[in-house]
Structure 1
Amino acid sequence: MPIISTTRRLLLTLALGSVACAAFAQHARAAAPAASTLPGAITLVVPQAPGGSNDTMARALAARLSKVVDSSVIVHNRPGANGNLGSAWVAESAPKDGSVWLVTVNSTMTINPFLYDKTGFDPVADFSPVAGVAVVPHVLLTRPDVPAGSMADVLELARKEPGKYTFGSSGNGTFSHLLMEQMKHSQSVDLTHVPYKGVAPALTDLIGGQLHYVISTVPAAMPFITSGQLKPISVTSLAPSKALPDVPLADDTVPGMVGELWVALYAPRGTPDELISQMHEAVQKVHAMPDMQTTLEAQGAMPMLAGPDEINSLTTTEMERWGPIVKSSGMRID
């Protein structure tokens, strides 16, 4: 699909390799630090529950930002409605003085506007993109006792017993939901959807035997894969995951079953450009830190070097892709 390819090219361009990170680190050390006018106390609002990939990425960012900007940087979770509640709070109530920023996933900005009658915010009018944080692949998981070791097995089981097999998602309209709905429709199979408030409780129920499948971000899934509690079936990327190099691509069996989460930092619209520029520069310096790269790679994520223009391009491209999928599925949340 052309839109998928465009998105992937953009993400690959913005995902930093080790050589690029090293070059940036040398430049950062050589450059004279500009005086920061960011506040002494900064809050990163995460509109998802603790334990998910966005929360993990935000906390990794916050721990290092505090060293770069010489400020206290904390993460505050305000979950609800697939990221709408926390995002709306930042748009409506957060001060525009650089003390409050939003860290959220692309689905908040590119899927929710089509899924909800009212989100409480306008992703374009209410926010200013600041910087990319990470690109996070997804993986389809099951339990060791479920007789599905491949996408072909998943489809075969679903065709033999329509409606029997269940999949959990991190919420209605999330990537983990829409990717499975796309598979169901393209392959004419029937699986039962069980939505959760975040991926963590879905993984807990999968391990506990209440579900058969979950599509999770790789970082959230890795501890359970490593421990043997869950087994990976396929990754929903156009290239193998560095963390799971031997796991096949879902796209090989179900063409178009591709989706990656990316995390970005936003300012409430009205935040001075000077503060946005300072925060963007600070995030770039965090990306250049070797321990940040190691932390992301250990969780199956890639650092994402992106500024406002690149994030705007990605947002437009993904809205063009996901909008028709949401509309054709008939999903709508009041």
Structure 2
Amino acid sequence: MKTILRVVAAAWLMTACWTAGAAEYPERPIRMIAPFAPGGGSDVVARLVAQKLTPILGQSVVVENRPGASGIIGADHVAKAAPDGYTILMTNSALTSNPWLYKSLPYDTEKDFVPVIELASAPTLLAAYPGVPFNTVPQLVAYAKQHPKHVTVGTPGAGQMSHLAAEMLSQTSNTELTMVHYKGTANSLADLISGNIMMSFGTVPGFVNQIKAGKLKPIAVASTKRISALPQVPTVAETYPGFEMTVWFGVFVPAGTPQAVVDKLNAGMSQVLADPAVHARFDDEGLVPGGGSPAQFDALFHKDLKDWGVFIKARDIHVGS
């Protein structure tokens, strides 16, 4: 009986310590790991949210870019971090496609992460070098069919969402497109602007400034309706009804993180998303504010995990070992 009482007391004490720690959280700066190179949609969202979250939590939220392998390197760093809320992951939908693209991962996607909140979503945008001989999706498709494999599509990396969007377009339009994979958004964007590749998919935040500056021309947006940031740009669905490719951006913590910490992060980020200034910035960038509970984001996470499995298996896409 004394042994049982000691075990119960120890368990109670551990729970009390966790609860107290969670109540005082955060007591030091928080590292927000962005597993992609600076300049892309994930980086834009991460830095804006981190800036606004800092005064709400009373501690600095520092964005740390750890790019590589379609977000796997950064995600693995968080998966193996202490589950205390001081190392968090701000990633995108690639987290749900990677398990189907790679034969093995250094973490278990379903077991090693806890969803906190969806911060935003953005449709992918097809943009091209201004000198290409097409301006619309029908013109692009006609040109690609006349010149099989001649149309080059740049991506920030094999398996990233822009790559999957191009695969979707190739499948839907029955065209042969040549994928050119780079190491990061900056490299692919530089070659797109210089005309070394013909076009690329990306999120609106990654392209909108170059489009407004005349360095790129938009072909179509992969959303169900036109977007306010670029209202003149048609949707792919206007040519191929039902075509949609939206990327979400969200926050995860390592498995085992106390629920009180998850809830505090969710509450703080919900406050950020309620800020009219954040809404205005998101609107300028072509982003749709997210929000909701951890359970709601968990449902979206698992739905995408299933849906990407169906698509990637059907296309037989593999990008890594």
Does the pair score TM above 0.5? yes
Q: 1:35/1:289 Cα in 2 relative to 1: closer, same or farther (>3 Å)?
A: farther
1:21 corresponds in structure 2 to none
Alignment match, 1:72 = 60
Could you tell me which of 128, 150, 174 is aligned with 1:188? 174
- Alignment deviations for residues 89-127 of structure 1 (CA, whole Å, 9 cap, x no partner): 1111x122221111100121x100100112212222101
Q: Which residue of 2 aligns with 1:237?
A: 223
Aligned ranges 1:58-207 → 2 under 5 Å: 58-92=46-80, 94-108=81-95, 110-207=96-193
Give 1:255 deviation, angstroms. 3.8
Letter in 2 for 1:218: V
Is the 8 Å Cα contact of residues 119 and 250 (structure 2) preserved in structure 1?
yes
Which TM-score applies when normalising by structure 2? 0.90
Q: Which residue of 1 aligns with 2:254?
A: 268
Q: Gaps spanning 5+ residues in structure 1: where?
A: 1-33
Matched, 1:284 2:270: yes
CA contact (8 A) 2:129 2:194 kept: no
Instruction: Provide the residue aligned with 1:4 in structure 2.
Output: none
Between the aligned partners of 2:270 and 2:301, the Cα distance in structure 1 is: 20
Contact 1:200–1:220 (CA under 8 A) maintained in structure 2: no
Q: What secondary structure is seen at the aligned counterpart in 2 of 1:304? A: strand
Q: Distance in 2 between matches of 1:316 and 1:279?
A: 21
| Worse overlay, 216-225 or 130-139 | 130-139
User: 3-state DSSP class of the match of 2:122?
Assistant: strand
Equivalent residue for 1:46? Answer: 34
Q: Percent identity?
A: 34
The Cα shift of 1:256 comes to 4.2
Q: Bigger radius of gyration, 1 or 2? A: 2
User: Following TM superposition, by how much is the alpha carbon of 1:70 offset from its aligned partner in structure 2, in angstroms?
Assistant: 0.5
- Matched residue type, 1:77: N
Amino acid at match of 1:50: P
Which residue number corresponds to residue 27 of structure 1? none
User: Which residue identity does 1:309 align to in structure 2?
Assistant: A
Structure 1 residue 287 displacement after superposition? 1.0
Deviations 1:120-143, CA, capped at 9 Å, x for gaps: 122221011111111112110112
How many residue pairs align between the two structures?
299
Q: Look up the match of 1:214.
A: 200
Are 1:258 and 2:244 matched, yes or no?
Answer: yes
For structure 2, the 5+ residue unaligned runs are 1-21
- Letter in structure 2 aligned against 1:91: A
TM-score (norm 1): 0.86
Aligned residues: CA RMSD: 1.5
Counterpart residue type for residue 42 of structure 1: I
